[in-house]
Structure 1
Amino acid sequence: MSQSTVRARHRAARRPSTPLTQLASTATAQMAVVGRRTAVVAASSGLVVSVLGAAPAIAEPNDASGLASVDTATLTGAARAALDAAPVVTAPDQATWTLDVDDVTAVKPAPVVKAKTTATSRTATATSRSTVRAAATVAAPPSVAGSAVLQIAARYVGVPYVYGGTTPSGFDCSGFTQYVYAQLGISLPRTAEAQRSAGTVVSRADAQPGDLIYSPGHIAIYAGGDMEIDSPRPGGTVQFRSIWQSAPVFIRVS
């Protein structure tokens, strides 16, 4: 008969449990919980207080959670101290802004005053015009004294040529002859071409001072001999001058 060699197994010996070891085990478990709750933030001041490494408080026998309590009064006091030490900035309900700039003075420009025409200025203008006329005057032929037309025409020697002009302020060629003849009560057409047909054509040998001299595009007044008086061209003035037309037509107006 074989003999069994299997030995009986026994539980390993454990450290004997005493009230002291149970207390130590409980304290270790509570410290682990407190270690996970080590950071306390004081939100009102931005202060972060760490209680890492702080000795855990022993749970009160009557604490329902069985966890160690933390002294929050000390943390609250530290946060309040930080707030009290922080600078305080205040502003009034109605704030005003000021800006330092140099004084600027607006200066109103002086009004432009137009010079008024006075008797003195008119006299000076008339004198100047008379001077121009005198400078432009060529010795009048002897026939002026014997012709009423030439006597009137000679008054306007020096008046400037003005295109379309019909007054002593300025004449063109036909405006001048029309104005001179109008002083004698004789009405002439407005243009040189129309005045060409206003009278009777005469030969140069039969022409008399005061007759009209026509050439295409121009009209003048015969002054006797080889002279005429007319308002010649832009930039010119009424003047006595030699007959310049190559084939003038003499016209007697009655």
Structure 2
Amino acid sequence: MPESLTAARHRAAGRPTTALDDLAASATGSLAVVGRRSAVAAASSGLVVSMLAAPASAAQPTDAGAAALPTVDTSALTASARAVLDTAPAVTVAADATWTFDVPAVTVIADPPPPPAPVRTVAAASRSQARAAVPTEAAPAAEAETRGAPAPASANGNAIVEIASRYVGVPYVWGGTTPNGFDCSGYTAYVYAQVGITLPRTSSAQRSAGTVVSRADAQPGDLIWTPGHISVYAGGNLQVDAPVPGRTIQIREIWQSNPTFLRFS
């Protein structure tokens, strides 16, 4: 095979290009077109128009084709970016840097004690409420009756007088047996029922059921009987009774001339 005497030809290595080179080439192409249009306008109007040429510091063309085109100062295009970098320099931190922050002191203050509860004033029970109330003192006497061992007359008597006094002011009503109205025997039977002692309905029947005691031995809570009327002995010379129609239950002196005192157990 014959040997070729012609040396191989290789393409010369080109200068490496960047994105800014592509931008500069595009800009110079546009400037060339503007320059030609400005020259035509100057020739037609007689005015001297300065060509938009590259700055004096621009690189000189290296061949005849590039001499006809102005160059672009890339430093001007990147000036704004450089200004940003200069004003916001990168911050570096050492690898062994430590961070600290201040913790404010916290003081715990206990809540103040709650205000005292308002004092409620309880009004005195009305008379109608007093009439319907059932005394607590009745329980011991009723329990004693159930066991068959009656309480002493003085213990029962104090409870009876206290209960009888609650209904002062209730009107007299013929045949009445409730706090809405009492007659004399209905009143005594109702009061005794509160301590667990059942009395007959009429005053004459109550006279027959009770044990007669002398006035000297009479104790509060015993009954005082006279024909047609009966009341509760309150001690001393006092009694509690439902007198006559038109009147109310009251505490008053014993007015009967020869009363009979009765005890129930």
TM-score tier (shorter): 0.3 to 0.5
| TM superposition score normalised by structure 1 | 0.43
